[in-house]
Structure 1
């Protein structure tokens, strides 16, 4: 399958993180990333105890996308602004297990930040390849290397990011069996996937979002989260991915990159307003 970026055919060109992150279709992998994150016992406990997922899921999505877009495409000032926002959000999220038998949670723990960054990377690439086809080895290596910047902004020490895709695959394979879904994280997942506090227009597409999330998740986690699945749903998921792969790459670049452009514009206005308020 031909890969396209900004309406141009990119066959034969080595792609980088700048070429894929702007694609709006990657938002379809957001639910997968969130569920992978909260399935980590310590992250899940922090989310259940402190998160505003249920209260403001759209705000959470905007914040995550703004963080990713600014980290990849933003100026140093914009990267600093999203880093400060992440740190403010994480500052109060520290807790020890009250019973002593569960994982403590500190939002600044580099190992937990590594897992969050890893889920963003793996979900983006999984979704991208599901639509555009497999990346060639050079593009895959370059994108992986460049994705480490997300971890760095999340305060993951550079040496903690696995050195290459092989090392990442080993880290991923070793971490997946340690994931555990609890009643609390299962409830959070239901709140995220059903989006009762979302605008009506967004709620109308949530059935497709739930289908994509369940279809993209590793099967054991899909089962643990209690997401319904059968042959009929598998066929619907396969049709959805085939249709997206046919239609989406031929959409104009301005439309495919619209979320990035809107959220970066909003971030820049916020930074300008903040500077004006201080002067």
Structure 2
């Protein structure tokens, strides 16, 4: 076997999903009540800006994606992954995780790699932190037992990205210690600022999205930790904070009353889209 063939074989092995991992992802229960809610998409821009605030993630996204031309692609990829890992069948989880591994394989440079477990731990952490904050803002605080169960199950988003079980903080207290340390020490690079500009001031996005961007900038600025918001150059103030609180108040009153079919529509949409793409790969 030639060296190139051995290298390809090693790469193929890295793409394979361990059956033990698939076993550990089986039958999540509590996380479904959070992940299924469409309101979590309101934190999409916040999660992305937090992810790319990690310099390695920022470099990978800025240097290896067409984010400026297709700003919704990362949202589609992320939500497909999140919904499939939590709601998909065993075979669907395996297929999507392998797709993510293949996509990450070429995203690397002298000082970063998309397969770095520390970077993937941070990505998964942002999904939990932003998602649980929005959920509790709308539906009220969870009791301690439910909150801890949901936190434990959120680890599946990290474990399927090459993060080992011991890397995921053991409980919520440990998680928020990790979170605070990350927020206090990370530096917002030019890569991250480029992505923020493409995301929040994108002139190539469809008109309907561009129309919504001022509101997205407003809500994202209020959701970000102050240090991160300031580093990105996003503005806040008494009027902006008041507008955000008023908007969240209206949402808290109206959203839970919506029919479940509406609240879960994005989950069903992305799952259907994922299954269509998997069928196309088979044919």
Contact 1:40 1:178 in 2 (8 A): no
Q: Which has the larger displacement, 151-160 or 45-54?
A: 45-54
Unpaired stretches in structure 2, ≥5 consecutive residues = 1-28
**Within 5 A, what are the aligned runs for 1:224-243?**
224-243=231-250
User: After TM superposition, which residue ranges in structure 1, 4 or more long, deviate above 4 angstroms?
Assistant: none
For residues 20-71 of structure 1, the C-alpha deviation after alignment (integer angstroms, 9 at most, x for no partner) is 1010100011111111111112222222222322121112211111100001
- Aligned counterpart for 1:31 among listed residues 36, 45, 51: 45
SS at match of 1:205: helix
Q: Contact 2:69 / 2:205 at 8 angstroms: preserved in 1?
A: no
- Secondary structure of the structure 1 residue equivalent to 2:67: coil
Matches of 1:188 and 1:60 in 2, distance apart? 11
Q: Check the 8 A contact 2:62/2:195 in 1, yes or no.
A: yes
Q: Structure 1 or 2: larger helix share?
A: 2
Q: Which runs of structure 2 are paired with 1:62-211 in the superposition (5 Å)?
A: 62-96=76-110, 104-211=111-218
Distance in 2 between residues matched to 1:40 and 1:232, nearest whole Å: 30
Matched, 1:59 2:73: yes
Match of 1:259 in 2: 266
Q: Number of residues paired by the alignment?
A: 255
SS for the counterpart of 2:82 is helix
Partner SS state of residue 46, structure 2: helix
Provide TM-score, normalisation by structure 1.
Answer: 0.88
CA distance in 2 between partners of 1:21 and 1:244 (Å): 18
> How far apart are 1:274 and its partner, in Å?
2.2
Q: TM-score, normalised by structure 2?
A: 0.86
Distance 2:74 2:55 in 1: 20
2-side partners of 1:88 and 1:173: how far apart? Answer: 31
SS of residue matched to 2:179: helix
